[in-house]
Chain A
Amino acid sequence: MKNNIAELRDKCNMTQQALADKVYVTRQTILSLEYGRYNPSLELAYRITKALKQKHIENVFQLKTIAL
């Protein structure tokens, strides 16, 4: 999955720590998410979407298209 957490976080003037505190994870987890090293669970994805003040989860997380 790919995401635009970093951009949306900047728009909300939020630090990684602030976002981490809002969604009850560590700052390292937010860092891993932004670098695409970790895919969140559905629950965490929804919490992040809400914290970034987005209406739809697709605004934050997108499925990478795989060439078949």
Chain B
Amino acid sequence: MNGKNKSYWKYIFGIAMIILGGLLTYFNIGKEFLGFLTTGYFLFYVGVITIFIATLQIVKEDKKIVDERMEFVAAKASRIAFMAILLFAFVIVIIDSMESINIRGTYLMTYLICGTVLVYFVSYKLLLKVN
């Protein structure tokens, strides 16, 4: 995916968030969320920021090389992150069997995703040094 294609997707995502935010606000759906009055306002903010960042990146024209070695390392790191998801799920099941985990499903998902992203990031950096 070249730089221009990535920018189109960012703009599409940004516009989609703005439209969704507008719709949610218009139909009064959603409640107070992360300091924003409603979920709609938050999505609108996300859309604006995405478009702003995409525009900045185009203006800056930072040429980043992503070569085959980096793609190879990224693939390895993805496999490690996938294994981490399986391991986290197993650990959660074991812990839950010992002592019931009382946490909202959405928070559990968030922690799982953040943990996976962290594992991916760390394994990518380490593998880049080793390879």
Residues on A lying within 8 angstroms of B by beta carbon are 24-26, 28-29, 32, 37-38, 40-41, 44
Interface size of B as a range: under 10
Q: From DSSP, what is the main secondary structure of chain B's interface residues? A: helix
Which listed residue (A37, A40, A41) contacts B130, Cβ 8 A?
A37
Partner of B70, one of A26, A40, A41, A44: A26
Asked whether, in the complex, the Cβ of B68 is within 8 Å of the Cβ of A25, the reply is yes
With A32-B69, A32-B131, A37-B130 already in contact, 11 other A-B pairs whose C-beta atoms are closer than 8 Å: A24-B67, A25-B67, A25-B69, A26-B69, A26-B70, A38-B69, A38-B72, A38-B131, A40-B68, A41-B68, A44-B68
Residues of B within 8 A of A (CB): 65, 67-70, 72, 128, 130-131
List 5 contacting pairs A-B, 8 Å CB cutoff, sorted by A: A28-B128, A29-B70, A37-B130, A41-B68, A44-B68
Chain B residues contacting A44 (CB-CB under 8 Å) are: 68
**Across the interface, do B65 and A25 meet the contact criterion of CB distance under 8 Å?**
yes
List residues of chain B with CB within 8 A of the CB of A38.
Answer: 69, 72, 131
Contacts of B70 in A (CB 8 A): 26, 29
